[in-house]
Structure 1
Amino acid sequence: MTDDAQPPANEPAFNAPLMVIVLPLLIIAVYVFQVWIGPEANALLVESFALTPILLRQGNFDLLFTHIFLHGSWTHVLFNASACLIFATPLVRAFGKGAGAALSFFALFLLCGVAAGLGYCLLNMRSNMPVVGASGAIYALIGASSRIVGVRGESGGVLPLTNQRVIMSALVWCGLNLATALLPYIPGVGNLTIAWQAHIAGYLFGLLIVGHWLKAFHPGFFTRN
């Protein structure tokens, strides 16, 4: 009697989808360019392409896109790139493989960044403080990923908003960001400011849109075997 069963293939220790690697590298590459051009030119770049509510009210809607790829420090950009690598993986796997799936993910990422920036501006209509970074878009990916189940070959699905896991995740992430609003009032912190409103707006947008996006552009996720 012969045994035709094949031994299970060893799964690579690092097997993130390509787009999950490309996007963080793009974010880092833009910051490398910011450093390379020098402090004065970088200050002008940030002044020209960062998002501020006042400039948005004047019709500079392109800033909703450009601010996503600018960052203020190595700590800022590396944190965002790492978070993107971690939290975007289940979402990209749900989208599937191929150029279409990659474009869909990048489009959603941009849309999430725009929604986060818009949420920040709506809550700070008179502010002239520039906002940069992909944090809002990445928080949207965190919110979206919290609802996804079945990304490793099983039939996929999206958890309902009333699911306990979804609710607890939202409370934790939104609560942490609400807590950061108190940072400027803590002795020794200095002038550290975090656009927590953009984070929460992004998270809630990702939470709400993921099911509709998958049904519209990736219906095969729900029947994947």
Structure 2
Amino acid sequence: MKKLEQSENQPILRAPPVVLILLAFMLGFHLLSVFGGAALRVELIVALGLFPARFFAEGLGGLPGGWVQGVVNLFSHSLLHGSWTHLILNGVWLLAFGSPVAKRLGPRKFMFLFMVCVMFGGFWQIFVADVSGYLVPIIGASGGVAGLMGAASRFAFSDVSWLDPNAQQLGRRLLRLSDVPRRRPVMLFIAIWLIMNLTFGLLGPYGMADPGGSAVNIAWLAHLGGFLAGILLIGLLEKPPLSASGGPGHVDYGDWKNRK
């Protein structure tokens, strides 16, 4: 029993290698953009930033690559950040929420989840952009980080129970989507997250950047798209182990018995 308690009480910030590697890439690209000079920063933003213009007006403003490059940038924009504040905030949330998700899914599924959330967040932001935003690049890993927060909300507020009795593994069950609205802590977390994003998105000055390097605003709709993708996708990526009753590990015995 002592072994189980130690496993369950591991610090949340004891990050798996995949999370640390992802954070190192984000830090490395930011150091390049900060200390590599203005010209290199412009090149990085043009090459990696997500420009809505690539999808709606190919070649507008002299952007190379058109929509094909835009598809690549749906992922690559997560490597750049508008400021140290932007990077630090994303890094802290990545460690806090990415660590438990990575421990739960493993490195491959974790990276798949993160990149899909990045892509969906960028896609969401692009297709609500007005004409005035076509040449404003979207940068930052916030959509992916928001997706990890959404994914974590599906299990972070569950009770600790047996996930796999045969392997003597304790953990938190993944909530069914239909149970999410019934769990007050989960809905409170989502409500606070939405309020914070609306507040900082409408008032905060970091999150998007122009090629000259000045911050514009937070792409909060990308956060929303990533969050929704995360809360939905984790249920497809996680295969629940069988419980002692022979049912899925995230279903109580009474529920499983009644479904037979």
Task: Normalising by structure 1, report the TM-score.
Answer: 0.80
For 2:39, the equivalent position in structure 1 comes to 40
Note if contact 2:109-2:237 (Cα within 8 Å) is conserved in structure 1. no
Task: Normalising by structure 2, report the TM-score.
Answer: 0.70
Displacement of 1:198 after TM fit?
0.7
Letter in 1 for 2:148: L
Note if contact 1:156-1:223 (Cα within 8 Å) is conserved in structure 2. no
Of residues 156-165 and 176-185 in structure 1, the stretch that sits farther from structure 2 once superposed is 176-185
Partner Cα separation in structure 2 for residue 146 and residue 209 of structure 1: 12
Displacement of 1:47 after TM fit?
2.0
Partner Cα separation in structure 2 for residue 72 and residue 205 of structure 1: 24
Partner Cα separation in structure 2 for residue 181 and residue 20 of structure 1: 26
For 2:227, the equivalent position in structure 1 comes to 203
Identity %: 28
Letter in 1 for 2:26: I
Displacement of 1:164 after TM fit?
2.1
For 1:176, the equivalent position in structure 2 comes to 196
Displacement of 1:213 after TM fit?
1.8
Partner Cα separation in structure 2 for residue 88 and residue 195 of structure 1: 20
Q: Does 1:102 align with 2:103?
A: no
List gaps (5 residues or longer) in structure 2: 59-66, 164-168, 206-213, 243-247, 251-260
Displacement of 1:9 after TM fit?
6.4
Q: Secondary structure at the match of 1:154?
A: strand
Of residues 143-152 and 119-128 in structure 1, the stretch that sits farther from structure 2 once superposed is 143-152
Number of residue pairs matched? 207
- Where do residues 106-125 of structure 1 align in structure 2 (5 Å cutoff)? 106-125=111-130
Letter in 1 for 2:170: E
Note if contact 1:139-1:202 (Cα within 8 Å) is conserved in structure 2. yes
Partner Cα separation in structure 2 for residue 161 and residue 196 of structure 1: 23
C-alpha change, 1:184 and 1:172, in structure 2 (3 Å) is: closer
1:56-103: CA deviation from partner (whole Å, max 9, x where unpaired): 3342211101101111222211221111001112211211xxxxx212
Partner Cα separation in structure 2 for residue 21 and residue 112 of structure 1: 18
For 2:137, the equivalent position in structure 1 comes to 130
Letter in 1 for 2:188: M
For 1:157, the equivalent position in structure 2 comes to 173
Partner Cα separation in structure 1 for residue 42 and residue 199 of structure 2: 29
Picking from 186, 201, 204, the partner of 1:166 is: 186
Partner Cα separation in structure 1 for residue 225 and residue 86 of structure 2: 19
Note if contact 2:151-2:232 (Cα within 8 Å) is conserved in structure 1. yes
For 1:78, the equivalent position in structure 2 comes to 88
1:143-178: CA deviation from partner (whole Å, max 9, x where unpaired): 110111459932542223322222222111112212
For 1:68, the equivalent position in structure 2 comes to 78
Note if contact 2:75-2:115 (Cα within 8 Å) is conserved in structure 1. yes
Partner Cα separation in structure 2 for residue 191 and residue 37 of structure 1: 18
Displacement of 1:192 after TM fit?
4.6
Partner Cα separation in structure 2 for residue 81 and residue 181 of structure 1: 18
Note if contact 1:136-1:201 (Cα within 8 Å) is conserved in structure 2. yes
C-alpha change, 1:31 and 1:223, in structure 2 (3 Å) is: same
Note if contact 1:28-1:78 (Cα within 8 Å) is conserved in structure 2. no
Displacement of 1:16 after TM fit?
2.5
Partner Cα separation in structure 2 for residue 182 and residue 32 of structure 1: 28
Q: Secondary structure at the match of 1:130?
A: coil
